[in-house]
Structure 1
């Protein structure tokens, strides 16, 4: 069977929504209990298409079987940061498809101009954490789960979220003066 990995299209919205729902209802991998309403998912995908944000899908038999999207962080001041979210339907895991989706999405994210990409992965998901580390992500910290709205359904699982980030090393942020950011600290004369 041929699996196509490509940027999402409007025709994929319903299938994408269904795939998110399947993975969300597992209560293991996503910070969701169920898929958002179809109207919200539609608006999300349309915005990603319109703005050119990286959102890749894996397609088999014209159905979305996995996704990786990297929209910008929600606060405008953090527009240089992409927030990565991905998932695969259960029967497609362990076949290298997650790595392929991630790799192609990261290439698109670099081309889009993100300087940093962030994600969270549950501590009881070592396979995903290993995949992200292989792609150059490093751990920034661990957030204890306080059993709020998305931790509650994870009963029986370790309630911690590892914060991971990936920097794009070949680009440095510009300062207000237009100069590239500091690579080394040099004392200035008084």
Structure 2
């Protein structure tokens, strides 16, 4: 099995010089409050996530604690102590599916288009490989062409589509299932 080559995808484009001050780090319990603010901000945009608002501090703390105890890759982008983005790969808990996980990512609007999504994904995918993941999948809304393009740069391919899966402010939207595998196809 060969690991993912995330170097090319992580280095594409020229990030904003201010983005270099942003640190990518494993999430820690001290980040929970700021992570919750970041998650809620992205959710309230109603364009990118499956949720439309954040969770309580207690729910976020339980989420982070569970992911840490399970060894799931979960990284945040930090501008000082402020969480401005995250990327998590949550291992599938179902029997027969533990070799894979689901990727979730979000970046605050003011920090987009600076290479943070690429940096977060490169870090989380490399971490997932080290932790034995063989497959990572994600759901993305079909109109989110920028995200789909980024995922393709990392080697994600479309595996399916849920028609009319989301109905919010912009009317019906499809969701696209994309995945990357770290194993060679059987011969």
TM-score (norm 2): 0.85
RMSD: 1.5
Aligned position for 2:179: 165
CA distance in 2 between partners of 1:94 and 1:76 (Å): 38
How many Å apart are 1:48 and its aligned residue? 1.2
User: Which SS does the other structure have where 2:139 is aligned?
Assistant: strand
Matched positions, count? 168
CA distance in 2 between partners of 1:77 and 1:38 (Å): 32
Aligned position for 1:100: 119
Spell out, residue by residue over 1:15-58, the C-alpha distance to the aligned partner (whole angstroms, 9 max, x if none).
Answer: 00110000000000000011122222111101111222100000
How many Å apart are 1:157 and its aligned residue? 4.8
Aligned position for 1:36: 55
The farther-off stretch of 154-163 and 24-33 is 154-163
Aligned position for 1:156: 170
CA distance in 2 between partners of 1:64 and 1:23 (Å): 12
Spell out, residue by residue over 1:71-129, the C-alpha distance to the aligned partner (whole angstroms, 9 max, x if none).
Answer: 11242431111110000000000011100100010000000111100001100100000
Structural mapping, 1:104-119, within 5 Å: 104-119=123-138
Say which one has the larger Rg: 1
CA distance in 2 between partners of 1:37 and 1:3 (Å): 26
Gaps of 5+ in 2: 1-17
How many Å apart are 1:11 and its aligned residue? 0.3
How many Å apart are 1:161 and its aligned residue? 0.4
TM-score (norm 1): 0.84
User: Which SS does the other structure have where 1:164 is aligned?
Assistant: strand
CA distance in 1 between partners of 2:48 and 2:164 (Å): 14
- Indicate the structure whose relative CO is greater, using CA pairs within 8 Å and at least 6 residues apart: 2
Greater strand share, structure number? 2
CA distance in 2 between partners of 1:157 and 1:64 (Å): 31
Aligned position for 1:183: 186
